[in-house]
Structure 1
Amino acid sequence: MVKMAEKKCNDKNCPIHGSLKCRGKNFVGTVLSTKMHNTAILEWTWKHFLPKYERYEKRRTRIKVHNPSCIGAKDGDVVKVIECRPLSKTKHFVIVEKLGVEKGFKERMEAEEAAKVVEKEKPEEKVEPETPKEEAKKE
């Protein structure tokens, strides 16, 4: 069962204090971003078997979820989500419980940011100087 939140909220889309009915699938994942208003991006990884190679590969799922103000999940929190009616074009889940904080989340995010910076710093192509004929054409 879901724990009651300590804070009260006036959100009608809160499964605890509002009138939102939850049904269907439920997942546990890590909050990656809370930059949008009352929305969080949740991610979890799972293993998929590849029969040809007889090995597993890691896959990840990212979804947008409603983050009620009474729960107030932050980046790096491990949360439980439950499916609900569509709240927007892309939001079909709501956070119902905060389970804790993921270990090593900050280090993982810093490593991802460093990898993005390395990709952007690719060497530029050398531009050959124009020949005298090309310069004359421009004039």
Structure 2
Amino acid sequence: MKNIGLNIEQPTTDCDDHHCPFHGQISIRGKLIQAKLIKNKARRTAVVRIEFFHYVKKYMRYEKRRRNIIAHISPCLNVNDNDSVTIGECRPLSKNVSFVVLGRTS
């Protein structure tokens, strides 16, 4: 198990996934985001939702917006739907996947 250089709890189980940040060859660089895991149905892939506020200059108010991000889940991580998770940016793993789930946040 390699040290990814972040203050994130490492998983207890091992895996042989090449895209695992703890056991594989993926390095985390760029953004670290805390979000809510929405769907976990695809194989080793999850949909994560980020909610944020956007300022509307015309009305001098904030509106709530959200964005869905597709992230890779390693089999050594035990996360379920509606969990609060931390995701980290990595190199593009596929056409739409450029983030990896790093673990559950408390």
Equivalent of residue 54 in structure 1, options 48, 52, 60: 60
Give 3-state SS (helix, strand or coil) of 2:31's partner. strand
CA distance in 1, matches of 2:75, 2:29: 21
Task: Identify unmatched segments of 5+ residues in structure 2.
Answer: 1-6
CA distance in 1, matches of 2:31, 2:54: 19
Higher relative contact order (CA 8 A, sep 6+): 2
Report matched runs for 1:1-139 at 5 Å: 1-100=7-106
Structure 1 outlier segments of 4+, above 3 Å: none
For normalisation by structure 1, the TM-score amounts to 0.70
Task: Identify unmatched segments of 5+ residues in structure 1.
Answer: 101-139
| Identity %, equivalent residues | 36
For normalisation by structure 2, the TM-score amounts to 0.90
Deviation of 1:72 after TM superposition, in Å, equals: 3.0
Aligned residues: 100
